[in-house]
Amino acid sequence: MKILIYTHAFAPQVGGVESVVMLLAQGLVSVEGAAGGPPAVIVVTPTAPGDFDDTRLPFRVVRRPSLRQLMKLIRAADVVHLAGPALLPLLLARLARKAVVVEHHGFQAICPNGQFVYEPKQTLCPGYFMARRYAECLRCNAKMGRMASFKLLLLTFPRRWLCRGSAVVNLTPTKWLDTLLQLPRTTTIHHGVPDTGPSPVTAVPSRRLTFAFLGRLVSAKGPQVLLEAAAEFRARGAAFRLKVIGEGPERPRLEARAAALGIRDSVSFFGYLPPDRLELELENVAAVILPSLGGEVFGMAAAENMMRGHLVVVSDIGSLAEVVGEEGLKFRSGDAAALADCLQQILNRPELASNLGGRARARALLLFRTHHMVAQHLQVYGSLLDRGAH
């Protein structure tokens, strides 16, 4: 089986899509006992290599292909797997009559900017595009300029239409996303995350808690909500340390906001951390906090930290609530006081960190193993090819 995986974002960039594609491609070429041997995988991406050495990977990588080269690669593939409904490769694959899998890592099939966050209010979008309230979509993206906003809206229509094709299978990482997209031939396959083993966690000291935020520093991830909650927690007399791990355009504003709230001495901004350093900084944290306002179709940081055995505190948006289940704490999205209540609950009941953390790891081992993700993808590919043969 020849599988072409097209992804707009890939290493050396760092993010959820990049991680999932890397794990999937590595897993596919490592399949043992497959009839005819493991699949042949090619990853195609417009991402420049930088100083990343593609020859270290067990699969071929083609970067920045020409239109002619991309078409040739698509024609040579048995299955074309798109990490998101990228319009050009999706159109070319349909024209070439290929079996197509579209794995939705965002909301591009129902939202012009793909984030599903209503920018004027910084809240989860109620679904304006699907409700045909296109003026709200234009208003949401107005800061990009009138023409750019109009272009985003127009491109959403062919993207969604192509995803509805009879030779297309749509994959979602959560059932919640499936209910939003409303696309035919949709299957839910949870993302897999590596099992690095549980993080060392000692008894959580009741006098001074340490929390961590992981994610890109953009407003949709909700770091500003966390800072407001931390200030409320401080006002209640609590001592704590907050580690903000991640990089992004909002960092200067967030640092200034922490100072204005009077909590700068308790908040450390680390930026991006390599894996070894990240594991070190996450040791003995009381909880990992993910206060996203929207833009999450799964929540890789939630699943990864559940696999580490951490207590995870998340906003109650559909994707994060589904991933965490009952094995974490949830609060109303955007509600800093409700998040502060969760922090207070951990302070009052230090055993929550180990109890819920252990349950979170058990859930991650059951649902988010990498080999499960790979096996389920192979089933989808095989069923598509079998259907084509008949």
User: Looking at per-residue confidence, does 271 or 196 come out higher?
Assistant: 271
Q: List beta partners, residue 331.
A: 315
* Residue 206 pLDDT exceeds 60: no
Amino acid at site 252: P
Beta-carbon contacts of residue 77 (< 8 Å; ≥ 6 apart): 2, 3, 4, 42, 98
Q: What is the pLDDT of residue 207?
A: 58
pLDDT of residue 201: 55
**DSSP bridge pairs for 178:** none
Query: In Å, how far are 315, 330, 389 from 10, measured between CA atoms?
Result: 28, 31, 32
| Share above pLDDT 70 across residues of the chain, in percent, rounded to a whole number | 96
Distance of alpha carbon 74 from the chain centroid: 26
Domains by residue range for the chain, with CATH: 2-192+369-389 (3.40.50.2000), 209-367 (3.40.50.2000)
Least confident of 43-52, 190-199, 246-255, 317-326: 190-199
The alpha carbon dihedral of 45, 50, 55, 56 has a sign of negative
Whole-prediction pTM value?
0.90
Please state, in angstroms and rounded to a whole number, the distance separating the CA atoms of residues 7 and 14: 13
Q: Is the pLDDT of residue 202 over 90?
A: no
pLDDT in tens, 219-263: 889 999 999 999 999 999 999 999 999 999 999 999 999 999 999
Q: What band does 34 get if pLDDT is binned at 50, 70 and 90?
A: low
Identity of residue 230: A
Distance of CA 382 to the CA centre of its chain: 26
pLDDT tens string 104-124:
999 999 999 998 989 888 888
Predicted pLDDT of residue 166? 85
Q: Is the pLDDT of residue 204 over 60?
A: no
**Residue 388: its pLDDT value, please?**
64
Q: How confident is the model at residue 389 (pLDDT cuts 50, 70, 90)?
A: very low
How large is the average pLDDT for residues 46-60?
96
Looking at per-residue confidence, does 202 or 277 come out higher? 277
Task: Report how far residue 354's alpha carbon sits from residue 257's, in angstroms, rounded to the nearest whole number.
Answer: 32
Strands (E), the chain: 2-7, 40-45, 60-63, 79-83, 99-103, 117-118, 123-124, 168-172, 186-188, 209-214, 240-245, 267-271, 287-290, 312-315, 329-331
Q: What is the pLDDT of residue 37?
A: 77
User: How sure is the predictor about 294, in pLDDT bands with cuts at 50, 70 and 90?
Assistant: confident
- Bridge partners for 118 per DSSP: 123
